[in-house]
Amino acid sequence: MKSALITGITGQDGSYLAQLLLNKGYKVFGLFPRRSTDSTWRLEFLNIKDDVEFIDGDVTDLASILKALKVSKATEVYNLAAQSFVGTSWEQPILTANVTGTGVVNVLEAIRIFDPSIKFYQASTSEMFGLIQEEMQSEKTPFYPRSPYGVAKLYGHWITVNYRESFDLHASSGILFNHESPLRGIEFVTRKVTDAVARIKLGKQQELRLGNIDAKRDWGFAGDYVEAMWLMLQQEKADDYVIATGETTTVRDMCNIAFNHVNLNPEDHIVIDPKFYRPAEVDVLLGNPEKAKNALGWNASTSLNELITMMVEADMHRVKKEFGI
Ligand code: NAP
Ligand code: F7E
């Protein structure tokens, strides 16, 4: 039986990836940082919490990663751990650098020391393109990060490339554009919107306060994107791939989809609040997934309409349950 170790297993992608790997017959281990409250709700939602094995550890603690490699005997390591909220990265830039940046080299060093034949996946991001240098971003587009998060991720990306080139590690970097789901954290804009839409529809909230609704993102479904991570580690040679839908939409239009689904008018509820503006914004992102399509046979199979509808429905269900409606 193949074993895999996932850092960030309790996050959105970690949970979907764990489910995918379990379905493929892997034994799945998760590096589990200590938290004072339970952080396993996503694994419970997918009904897989008891099927994965947690190993105490943190990506800022090299010794704990080494122990996790030893205990799990993993042949594939997926490094998804991060302080991943862009807004918070201006409030906690050093923590973001330590976890999202230096955390990557800790995992790579652990692999290099323990067993360099272990395959490695790094969760890179379209945030590295930031102030875009080309209208459609591909693996060849120069980077220009715009947040401490983007800067930390850029280090993670290049150190992955460097370990591949220096030590011949099977280390791949997936440059994933925004991907969402009913398991998305509530602070990210899609989930903030779908949760608010459900609460407004059910009479539990009146307004939705947002920042820059002219920003454009290339949004896909997380369930589709974790498949691409796995595919990268099944290739003979490690490489870097952009994972995206190839379509971009404003936050405003994404809101329209969510509100329209439950017959509400967004203009009656959205309030622009400068509190949610960022010190430096990424105005537009649009990914070119051609390489992944050709080399991995990967395609984004969920439209933004389907995705947002799925999220609104899930939040309607949750809010009804919360209020016993
Ligand atoms: P997420 O929901 O924020 O999950 C992050 C995970 O990392 C959580 O399980 C978190 O645990 C864990 N973590 C945080 N600090 C850690 C530490 N010091 N040691 C070990 N684990 C730690 O993020 P996601 O949306 O699933 O994204 C997964 C990865 O892909 C992240 O690296 C993110 O930056 C990257 N990415 C995401 C997107 C996207 O659109 N979703 C796009 C491109 C790249 P706690 O919850 O207990 O803190
Ligand atoms: O913001 C705008 C905001 O926080 C999207 C992370 O997974 O994807 C994510 O980063 C856009 C931005 O995601 C609000 O200014 C307007 O332009 O949902 P978000 P993100 O910053 O794109 C990348 C690929 C990652 O790698 C990250 O880890 O929406 N926006 N009003 C708002 N955003 C939020 N959060 N809240 C608002 O009220």
Query: Distance between CA atoms of 46 and 155, rounded to whole angstroms?
Result: 32
| Active site residues per annotation | 125, 127, 149
Closest CA to 207 of 193, 186, 189, 188: 193
* pLDDT computed for residue 136 by the predictor: 98
From 189, 190, 284, the mutation candidate for ligand 2 (largest count of ligand atoms within 8 A of CB) is: 189
* pLDDT computed for residue 165 by the predictor: 98
| pLDDT band of 12, cuts 50, 70, 90 | very high
Ligand nearest to the CA of 102: 1
| pLDDT band of 300, cuts 50, 70, 90 | very high
Query: Distance between CA atoms of 310 and 221, rounded to whole angstroms?
Result: 10
From 60, 80, 98, 120, the mutation candidate for ligand 1 (largest count of ligand atoms within 8 A of CB) is: 80
Q: Are 59 and 120 in contact (CB under 8 A)?
A: no
Average pLDDT of the residues in 46-55: 98
Query: Distance between CA atoms of 125 and 121, rounded to whole angstroms?
Result: 13
Residue with token string 């080299």: 105
pLDDT tens digits, residue range 66-84?
999 999 999 999 999 999 9
* pLDDT computed for residue 274 by the predictor: 98
CA angle 37, 4, 116 (to 5 degrees): 120
The predicted model scores a pTM of 0.98
pLDDT tens digits, residue range 237-270?
999 999 999 999 999 999 999 999 999 999 999 9
- The total of other beta-carbon atoms located within 10 Å of residue 106's CB is 23
- What mean pLDDT is reported for the chain? 98
Residue of minimum CA distance from atom 25 in ligand 1: 12
Phi/psi for 262 (5° steps) reads -110, 25
Residue of minimum CA distance from atom 29 in ligand 1: 80
258 vs 12, 119, 147, 196, 215, CA distance in Å?
Answer: 20, 39, 28, 10, 17
Domains present along the chain, CATH in parentheses: 3-179+220-243 (3.40.50.720), 185-218+247-285+302-323 (3.90.25.10)
84 vs 137, 160, 235, 294, 320, CA distance in Å?
Answer: 21, 18, 27, 29, 29
| pLDDT band of 167, cuts 50, 70, 90 | very high
pLDDT tens digits, residue range 189-243?
999 999 999 999 999 999 999 999 999 999 999 999 999 999 999 999 999 999 9
| pLDDT band of 104, cuts 50, 70, 90 | very high
294 vs 165, 199, 240, 242, CA distance in Å?
Answer: 23, 42, 13, 12
Residue of minimum CA distance from atom 47 in ligand 1: 39
